[in-house]
Structure 1
């Protein structure tokens, strides 16, 4: 049985009960995902502290640009998942602006496009202050965010979602944040970006484990679908393990200070995530595990950034 979604016109949306209008748009942005943009920018910036004084104007411009791309990606995801019939009123882990609140799909698409335009303006500012090579790199990042859900063959429907997300939201953002402060990229900055990249990939793996059955019915071929639930949870465990073992290697090799081991304070959340997926069969049952996975990345990144901030100041 197909549920018919009643779409509100723009003037109807503006007439929502007091306070609800802003809540609809706020939920559409999925604010809980913004730490995935903040963490790599913060790490890339604090890594630059031993080399050059941090330029706060470039830091905030980079941070805002990354957040705009993140919320645009979320809005594109909301739009295209609705168009492809992937979301309904019972779907978990979404903003729900279209399927639950009846916001016109074209408004969501317009909002996403507006965020991209704003990010482009910030990109021009950053490029003019550092290097014009940032523009093509930024354009590729924006395209990756769009193609994650959009296009004839969205990345989200393939086994490569985890790799693409981890690469662009981890490695690329960290290196760009480092570069705009120092004018260079070092081996250390690349090595430090690796565990963060794995943990961001873990968020996508957790998302795909949660949505495995629904994605399968809609013809998707995510890595979680190819592996099956049990082996996908094992894969998630391996991803977590690589991140923490890599961190140990960075500390013992002298790339990071001993204080970086404080990031192991996020390990209980990783364990909670893995346990939370075992034996669960419905998306709602797996939501706590999905949340714990995102919190693992947030805690790991923030603890590492704070340690480096105090170490290098």
Structure 2
């Protein structure tokens, strides 16, 4: 067993936060804020507080996921999907749980700042996000173990974070922000699905009913392709119908990466390909969102000159 003292404590804490996944919080905030800027409003302080709050919420979720999967016997020392810091005695279960609570506490404090900046309606966003994040892994709901993780991740990190980032800038409903949340949400869901495809064997062994476990590994591979291709189809439809700026079609610049991703996942026969698939999907999701955000910014600048 690995000695906890063999690496600095801060590296263990960082590893457990799963930093490579945090683009899933950064991307919707960037896109939602870009939409607000396109419609004429951008407050830098509000943007930064929103971004930090979302990052803390996701980091806390990752800690809780690590803790509850250990507590409920869903992970073991050899699990590919876990950082296994508890099994390796790099952190205690109490430390992991405490990390999740601390992150939620910071997110709550930042939420209070947003209440003063935006208004009490933001409480609904915060409560909704925290409840989904906590009960994603925790009893009595254990959404991830019931095959509901995909839809809840789409709602929380696609819709709520994208439109919520718009709402804190402009306090109103926006179909444009909703439209932008669709491809963003599909790609974030694809990261989760790729994670579930990788963990298919482990999850099946402990009866964790993810969608690949419910419908089969081949379904998970095809579902991945639908999510990725669907993000480009959605962005194209919204751009051509004028809901999003036409410049949003620039997301097709990232399609070669998506094509390679889909082809490798559909033809994969071992888990190592799925591990690579997670990293590629995360990279694709971030690049897609960056290009979409920049396209909206360019549309904003050009429209201001007209």
TM-score under structure 1 length normalisation: 0.90
Query: What root-mean-square deviation, in Å, do the aligned CA atoms of Structure 1 and Structure 2 show?
Result: 1.8
The 5-angstrom pairing of residues 1-313 of structure 1 reads 16-17=5-6, 20-313=8-301
Structure 1: gaps spanning 5 or more residues:
none
Contact 2:49 2:110 in 1 (8 A): yes
Q: Give the CA deviation at 1:173.
A: 0.7
Q: Deviations over 1:56-88 (max 9, x none)?
A: 111000000000000000000111111122223
Structure 2: gaps spanning 5 or more residues:
302-306
Contact 1:37 1:67 in 2 (8 A): yes
How far apart are the structure 2 equivalents of 1:199 and 1:150?
Answer: 24
Q: Give the CA deviation at 1:303.
A: 0.8
Q: Give the CA deviation at 1:279.
A: 4.8
How far apart are the structure 2 equivalents of 1:270 and 1:50?
Answer: 27
| Higher RCO (Cα < 8 Å, 6 or more apart) | 2
How far apart are the structure 1 equivalents of 2:38 and 2:273?
Answer: 45
Q: SS at 2:164's partner residue?
A: helix
Q: Give the CA deviation at 1:233.
A: 1.1
Q: Give the CA deviation at 1:200.
A: 1.2
TM-score under structure 2 length normalisation: 0.92
How far apart are the structure 2 equivalents of 1:66 and 1:73?
Answer: 11
How far apart are the structure 1 equivalents of 2:25 and 2:151?
Answer: 16
Contact 1:273 1:288 in 2 (8 A): no
In the alignment of these two chains, the number of paired residues is 301
